[in-house]
Structure 1
Amino acid sequence: MEVASFLIVFFMVRYIRNSLQTAQQFPEWDRILVIVQYAASGLLAAEIFLDSDFTKWIWHLMLLGMVGAAYLLKDFRPVRNLWLAVGPYILVSLFSDIIAIFDSGVYKTIKDILDVAQIFALVWLIATWVSSQKQQKALEKERIKRLQEEEQGRIIANQNVMLEQLVAERTAELTRQKEELEQTLSELKTTQDQLIQREKMASLGELTAGIAHEIQNPLNFVNNFSEVSVELIEELKEERKRDDRDLELEDEILGDIAQNLQKITHHGKRADSIVKGMLQHSRTSTPQQEPTDLNNLADEYLRLAYHGLRANDKSFNATLVMDFDDKLGLVSVVAQDMGRVLLNLFTNAFYATEEKRKTGLEGYQPTVQVSTKRTEDHFIEIRVRDNGCGIPQAVLNKIYQPFFTTKPTGQGTGLGLSLSYDIVTKGHQGELTVDTEEGKFTEFIIRLPT
Structure 2
Amino acid sequence: VHLRYLLSAEGDEFPGSRELGRHHGHRTTLSVPLLREGDSIGVIVLRRNEVHPFSERQIKLLQTFADQAVIAIGNVRMFEEVQAKTRDLSEALTYQTGSANILSVIASSPTDVEPVLKAIVESACELCEAYDAVLVLKHDGELWVGAHQGQLPLNRTKWPYDRGSVSGRSMADRLPVHVHDVSLENTEFPIAQEMSNRDGGRSVLGVPMLSERESIGAIVLRRTEVHPFTEKQIKLLQTFADQAVIAIGNVRMFEQVQERTKELSRSLDDLRTAQDRLIQTEKLASLGQLTAGIAHEIKNPLNFVNNFSALSMELVDELHDVLKPTALDNKTREGTNELTQMLKANLEKVVQHGKRADSIVKNMLLHSREGSGERRPVDVNSLVAESLNLAYHGARAEKQDFQIRLDQNFDPAAGEVDLFPQEITRVLLNLISNGFYAATKRRTEMSNGYEPTLSAATKNLGDRVEIRIRDNGAGIPADVKEKMFNPFFTTKPPGEGTGLGLSLSHDIIVKQHAGSIEVDTQPGEFTEFRLILPRTSSHSKVGTIT
TM-score normalised to structure 2 length = 0.32
Highest RCO, 1 vs 2 (Cα 8 Å, sep ≥ 6): 1
Greater share of helix: 1
